[in-house]
Amino acid sequence: MSQDVQALLWSYGYIGLCVAAGELALRLGLPRELARKLIHVSVGFWIFGSLLLFQNPVLAVVPSATAVVGNWLIHRKRLLKSVEAEADNLGTVWFPVSFSLLVWLAWDRPAAAAGGVMAMAVGDALASLVGRRFGRHPYETLGGERKSLEGSLAMLGGTFVAVLATLTWMPGLGPDMPKVPLALLCAVVATCAEALGTKGRDNLWVPLAAGVVLYLVPPAHAAGLGLGAGIALLIGVAAWARGSLSPSGVLGALLIGTPVFGLAGAVGAAALLGFFISSSALSKAFRARKAGVEEEYAKTGTRDFGQALANGGVAGLAAVLLGVTGDERYALAMLGALVAANADTWATELGVLSRSPPRLVTTLRPVAPGTSGAVSGVGMLAATAGAAFVGLAAALAGARWSLVPWLILAGVAGSLVDSLLGATVQDVRWCDACGRETERRIHRCGQSTRSHRGFSWLGNDTVNVVATVAGALLAFWAW
């Protein structure tokens, strides 16, 4: 009997034993969630058997591929109580799909395939169990599913330990690969993927995201990205504790901070910290004087995931492109995005303090403070100062001083693009009960608002993305 045939028999026998053990544990009184995770974790560990026992990758994916069909039938027919889930939750199907893809695509790098599966098997299981038992700080994903910060931190720690152990034991990444920072980077990416997954799709995204990191990140960038992930994590959790970020905002900070801190050096770090610290401080300053105006904004104060990506996502993408290509123009694009974000934030936070009424940027007619698309002298000065603040921080960290005027121009231009979109196409709503414009779908009085002008799909976060793109492009051309 060939080795691959024996490996097939071992595979089906082991997986059958895992499922039987979980079903028996449920019937003996173990809670369903624990029985489900018992199967989830034990089956996940078979990745080591698949990689070590099989000689042919085609045959190695046969058990997991047949599990896709089998689990779909089990889910549809409700054949096993221990793995039952909501009708639209296909997590038991997506897991063997990701398992199969990792074995097939990363066969030449066993550590990448095994690490990706371990991120799901160990990290995701801890996220679910800890979140259900100790979750005290919930947040809502983009898909509307509720998760907790405690569960996400458990996912982070569990994935780090599991992936580090896998990288230490399994071959395939080379002796020059720094394992600790790579494991930390993998844990951060997997945690973000898990936090965004809904209806069981995290069983697909988590292993694949972790596997892609382990497979693609070169040794030259692994240490920097791992360090960047660690710094972003510390700053994000500290900002959450101070109320500057919501739990989902911490995830946004990780997605942005990891590439900027890890790939853009001291200049990128100084610019990002200058933006985040100054904008967070201004958001909390003069709260009493800004309270009446801020009530009409769609989002204020504590930044969530959408706000974090809207303000820093373009900079994070530019940092990734900088690391991939080495083209210094992407460093300028990153700085342009950050100065635009800071200019717009300073203009918003300080412009509302103007004693004279602002004017709509398209018609220059006076409008109420806080009106989308309104500008004022104080706001323009604040935008200039905000752009200069980040530009000077970058220059002090090593950027060319001759770039500062151009960065200020890029920042102010980005802020004006934000105002122009706010005055023309941004979704602005109307409260019939109060007779006021607002960005909120539910007004402060509790009444639903109706569309007043602009496009319903073009909210404040989308406008912020466009504004930072404008700043990035202008700075990119400065080269």
Q: Where are the domains of the chain?
A: 3-226, 264-476
Dihedral (CA of 234, 256, 378, 368) sign: negative
pLDDT of the residue at 469: 97
Q: Is the pLDDT of residue 375 over 60?
A: yes
Q: Which residue has the higher pLDDT, 110 or 138?
A: 110
Closest CA to 110 of 179, 187, 167: 167
pLDDT band at 446 (very low <50, low <70, confident <90, very high): low
Instruction: Give the per-residue pLDDT at 296.
Output: 47
pLDDT at 292 over 70: no
Query: H/E/C letters for each residue in 223-264?
Result: HHHHHHHHHHHHHHHHHHHCCCECHHHHHHHHHHHHHHHHHC
What pLDDT digit, counting tens, does each position of 244-280 carry?
A: 888 778 888 988 999 999 999 999 999 999 999 999 8
Judged against a pLDDT cut of 60, whether residue 297 lies above it is answered with no
Tell me the pLDDT tens digit for each residue of 310-319.
999 999 999 9
pLDDT the model gives residue 273 = 96
Residue whose C-alpha is closest to residue 173's, from 106, 102, 101, 111? 111
Long-range contacts of 232-238 (CB under 8 A, 24+ apart): 232/188, 232/256, 232/257, 232/258, 232/261, 233/156, 233/188, 235/273, 235/276
Whether 112 contacts 173, CB under 8 Å: yes
Check whether 287 has a pLDDT greater than 60: no
Percent of the chain beyond pLDDT 70? 90
Q: Are 122 and 162 in contact (CB under 8 A)?
A: yes
Q: How does pLDDT run across 220-251, given as a tens digit for each residue?
A: 899 999 999 999 989 998 898 888 888 778 88
The mean pLDDT value of the chain amounts to 87
**Average pLDDT for 127-149:** 80
Considering only CA atoms, which of 108, 218, 237, 254 is closest in space to residue 172?
108
Among the ranges given (196-200, 235-239, 291-295, 440-444), the one the predictor scored with the smallest mean pLDDT: 291-295
C-alpha to C-alpha distance for 55 and 173, rounded to whole angstroms: 19
| pLDDT at res. 349 | 85
**CA 278 – CA 339 distance, rounded (Å):** 12
Give the model's confidence band at 173: pLDDT under 50 very low, under 70 low, under 90 confident, else very high. confident
Q: Residue 143's pLDDT is what?
A: 63
Residue 147 has pLDDT above 60, yes or no: yes
| Residue 7 predicted with pLDDT over 90 | yes
Position 432 scores a pLDDT of 63
Q: What is the pLDDT of residues 18-52, one digit of tens each?
A: 999 998 998 889 898 888 889 999 999 999 999 99
For residue 74, pLDDT over 60 is answered with yes
* Average of per-residue pLDDT across 123-147: 82
- Residue 121 CB partners (closer than 8 Å, separation 6+): 40, 41, 43, 44, 45, 47, 162
Q: How confident is the model at residue 283 (pLDDT cuts 50, 70, 90)?
A: confident
The residue among 414 and 82 whose pLDDT is bigger is 414
pLDDT above 90 covers a percentage of the chain that reads: 54
> Which segment of 68-77, 136-145, 168-177, 250-259 scores lowest on mean pLDDT?
136-145
Computed over its alpha carbons, how large is the radius of gyration of the chain?
Answer: 25
pLDDT at res. 360: 84
If pLDDT is split at 50, 70 and 90, which confidence band does 155 have? Answer: very high
pLDDT at 457: 67
Residues 383-391, mean pLDDT to the nearest whole number:
97
Q: What is the pLDDT of residues 311-359, one digit of tens each?
A: 999 999 999 999 999 999 999 999 999 999 999 999 988 887 778 888 8
Report pLDDT digits (tens) over 183-216.
Answer: 999 998 998 888 777 788 889 999 999 999 999 9
Q: Answer yes or no: are the C-beta atoms of 359 and 373 closer than 8 Å.
A: no
3-state secondary structure of 400: coil
Contact assessment for residue 445 and residue 373, using Cβ atoms and an 8 Å cutoff? no
Cβ burial 287-312 (10 Å sphere, 16+ → b, else e): eeebeebbebbbbbebbbbbbbbbbb
